[in-house]
Structure 1
Amino acid sequence: MEINSVNGRLSGVLVGIVLVASAAGCASAGQGRAPARQAGAAAGAPSPAVRGTVVSVTPLARMSQAQTGRYLDEADLKAPRPRAGVDVYRLVYRTVSATGRPTTASGVVALPRGTARALQAVSFAHGTHSGRRTAGSVAADGQSRIAAVYYAAAGYAGVAPDYLGLGVGPGAHPYLDAASEGEASLDMLRAARTVAVREGARLDRRVLVTGFSQGGQAAMALGRRLERGDDPYLRLGALAPVSGVYDLRRSQIPASLPGRGSLDPRVSAFNLAYATVAWNRLYRLYGTPSELFRAPYAGVVEQLFDGSHDEEEVFPRLPARLEELLTPRYVKWLERPSGALLRAIRAADGTCDWEPRAPVRLYGAAGDEQVTFANTGACVRALRRHGAVPRVVDYGPGTRHFDTLHRGLPDTLRWFQTRK
């Protein structure tokens, strides 16, 4: 089964992304219901002064320059060579849930050793994880831990949020929820500043932002928050997402559906099932899974995406074709979204609908088999409508999804180094 198609530990996370939800299994289902997000986002949200407060710091690794090089070699990241050893920490910090309630989240901070104590942060947002223990704050070979160490080895502060409900954060992960991705990422940066100070460093106010696949969406959401001044100190220095999912409605969903999709159907089945279950928690998209999923998958799909199963466990229990997973009515609703489904899609889309003043590069590949490159084209058009002039780096038709991550990490680093 071709899921993780790239050598090295960076490919150990699925990534990709699609869509969402349903209600009574027809186009009118879910209409008239108040989304769970609106119903729950009442009083009780912590103030900005509380958000980003550090709850705990756990040292995870203390690596010399040579040990850092070996660690990155195992991840097939051989260039550039590390400039320094790296100290890695797990952070637990205060943030808000997808419904606006106080909660905590976790993430990774990697700091270079023996270098100047004035550091610029690189925020890296990871791709899709179905299991909470795959996140970088827990897994030594987690995608986001590798990325944080990679940037720290080059002299930056590597900051990598787990998002909500992954790592050691409580609750379920609100997959493809752009708002909570951006909020958790910003609060993670606030917590990272505190930890950096404790370790004798100071973070520059200009943050370099990147992310991969689902993390491309998260990176755009974070970039917008930094650009509009949601934090009184932090600002966006440069933005460089890789293979992001920016346009579910007109790009990613059509490329995933049976009979017309150009993407890997097994990966699309995974992403669609995950998003459906996750978005149902926020938007009340169905009463029972059988309204969306065929037997026998309707009986197991919610358990598969409860956060305790990683991709290697989930994939063998899902079908190889979307036709075997989805009900016909659900497919039609995805083709013409309305009601609760449309609300969910609109909440996920739009992360490119703003004007960055900081420089932007979008990385991706025409040959991506998991996240259609049309997402990048849609993002470029949205940014240009606001007057931005993003540059696009297309790795070409022969480059697959995880290849873009392996090429994107060194390329974003080289570009960030020109922004100093």
Structure 2
Amino acid sequence: MTTPAVAAAQERTRHEESGRGTLVSAEKLYTLASPQAAAAELRAAGFADDTVRYAVVAYRLIYRTVDAHGRPTTASGLFALPLDAGRHLQAVSFAHGTGAHKDDSPSMRRGVFHSAPAIAHAAAGAAAVAPDYLGLGKGPGLHPWMDIGSETTASLDMLRAARAFAPRTGHVLDREVLVTGFSQGASAALGLGRALEAGEDRWFRLGALAPVSGAYDFGGAELPALVEGRLKAKPSVVYAAYTLVAFNRLHHIYDRPGEVFEYPYDATVEQRFDGAHTGLDLMQGTPDSLDDLLTEHGRALLAHPTGAMAAALRTTDAVCTDWKPRAPIRLYMATGDEEATTENTEHCRAALARKGVDAPVVDVGEVDYQESRHLGSNVAATTAIVRWFGELRRR
């Protein structure tokens, strides 16, 4: 029987042999030349600016990693550093929320929702490391949405690339990593934390975890709430389509789109998730109700998963159940979240409690961002997490 320690050692060996985390290129994207400029950047994205202490310089890193099948590929991400800070910096890894277009990622656009949390952490004095994930940003191929394994490897290898690049900027990254993420990225953050605590990297160790509004129990809480109409209708349609398309690409859960999608969407939905269509394209290219999108079989796959779908969801849903974090952890959420049911957070807290882990839930309240409490939770939680991580760094 392979022990966790042996498995971690084997994973380290595989990563070293494959060159995972090797820096391919680094490009300076922009400089926020004063704390005031960094604050303005955050305000433009709708985020608070009261934790800003430093100017910020942002880079795009491209690095070697592996795809969802373990084959060599490349990925990109945002690396944001505080200017005029000390030589030694603590890394904060931020995993972003759902995007379908390649530009829906931290390194592709500035002053926007996906990049703002990284800028906030850097402006507070941390080295912010924000992977774009596979297939987004400058990464080739399609994005394997909600695939925890590849989100974890992309995040860990981005940390390695950032550590390799940091000395070129006059910095060294400390061993302890503070890990956070929003929505899709909340599960990714837990996956990264699990890998770090398992010793899958020779240098980095987990310092703390702060996931926000995650679908931690994707099969047991999120999909039932979506199918039963307990979440906002239009985002539910898009998430249902994304789930079936993305999971089918990796796990082969249907043979033909017409098995799960109603006419005329059976001929168009898969192409909408090609990395070239925007969120607006997805909203306009899908119906307003699940009844118009899904066949009876498609709905059943989400409501009562079997076979390959059930097996895939068991892996996705293990982020809170198959390990025991030793580092401090807080679970952030928003009252009335209309996209990620708060049952996810409660199920995660309870699963961790059964293992003896105290994971307090921090409810940021009824917050809105562009009329969305789900998005608002990222805005409000970012400020709270920047403050908490700052307190941890000062200890």
Normalising by the residue count of structure 2, what TM-score does the alignment of the two structures yield? 0.92
Q: Does 1:87 align with 2:60?
A: no
Deviation at 1:130, TM superposition (A): 0.5
Q: Which region of structure 1 is more displaced relative to structure 2, 173-182 or 326-335?
A: 326-335
Which digits, 9 at most, give the CA deviation of each residue in 1:325-375, with x for residues without a partner? 000122123222110111121121111121111000000023000000000
- List runs of 5+ in structure 2 lacking aligned partners: 1-13
Cα distance in 2 between the residues matched to 1:115 and 1:254: 47
Aligned 8 A contact 2:329 2:359 in 1: yes
Cα distance in 2 between the residues matched to 1:175 and 1:394: 26
Deviation at 1:47, TM superposition (A): 3.6
Q: Which of 44, 57, 67 is residue 26 of structure 2 equivalent to?
A: 57
SS in structure 2 opposite 1:160? strand
Cα distance in 2 between the residues matched to 1:333 and 1:152: 42
Name 2:314's counterpart in structure 1.
346
Q: Which of 176, 195, 198 is residue 228 of structure 1 equivalent to?
A: 198
Which digits, 9 at most, give the CA deviation of each residue in 1:117-152, with x for residues without a partner? 111111100000000022121122343322211111
Q: Does 1:406 align with 2:376?
A: no
Aligned 8 A contact 1:108 1:144 in 2: no
Q: Which of 295, 305, 330 is residue 361 of structure 1 equivalent to?
A: 330
Shift in CA distance, 264/48, structure 1 to aligned 2, threshold 3 Å? farther
Which digits, 9 at most, give the CA deviation of each residue in 1:172-191, with x for residues without a partner? 00000011111100000011
Name 1:35's counterpart in structure 2.
none
Aligned 8 A contact 1:220 1:241 in 2: yes
Shift in CA distance, 133/165, structure 1 to aligned 2, threshold 3 Å? same
Cα distance in 1 between the residues matched to 2:113 and 2:140: 20
Which digits, 9 at most, give the CA deviation of each residue in 1:21-57, with x for residues without a partner? xxxxxxxxxxxxxxxxxxxxxxxx7545611000000
Counterpart mapping for 1:297-312 below 5 A:
297-312=265-280
Q: CA RMSD in A?
A: 1.4
Counterpart mapping for 1:269-308 below 5 A:
269-308=237-276
Q: Which region of structure 1 is more displaced relative to structure 2, 229-238 or 62-71?
A: 62-71
Name 2:144's counterpart in structure 1.
174
Q: Which of 238, 263, 285 is residue 231 of structure 2 equivalent to?
A: 263
Name 1:199's counterpart in structure 2.
169
Aligned 8 A contact 1:144 1:160 in 2: no
Shift in CA distance, 132/356, structure 1 to aligned 2, threshold 3 Å? same
Counterpart mapping for 1:108-257 below 5 A:
108-257=78-227
Aligned 8 A contact 2:91 2:127 in 1: yes
Deviation at 1:62, TM superposition (A): 1.4
State the identity %.
Answer: 47
Deviation at 1:82, TM superposition (A): 2.3
One-letter amino acid matched to 1:60: L
Cα distance in 1 between the residues matched to 2:309 and 2:345: 23
Aligned 8 A contact 2:148 2:187 in 1: yes
Cα distance in 2 between the residues matched to 1:72 and 1:368: 23
Normalising by the residue count of structure 1, what TM-score does the alignment of the two structures yield? 0.86
One-letter amino acid matched to 1:215: G
Q: Which of 373, 376, 400 is residue 345 of structure 2 equivalent to?
A: 376
Aligned 8 A contact 2:51 2:387 in 1: no
Q: Which region of structure 1 is more displaced relative to structure 2, 315-324 or 396-405?
A: 396-405
- List runs of 5+ in structure 1 lacking aligned partners: 1-44
SS in structure 1 opposite 2:178? strand
Q: Which region of structure 1 is more displaced relative to structure 2, 53-62 or 347-356?
A: 347-356
Aligned 8 A contact 1:46 1:102 in 2: no
Aligned 8 A contact 2:334 2:365 in 1: yes
Q: Larger % of helix: which?
A: 2
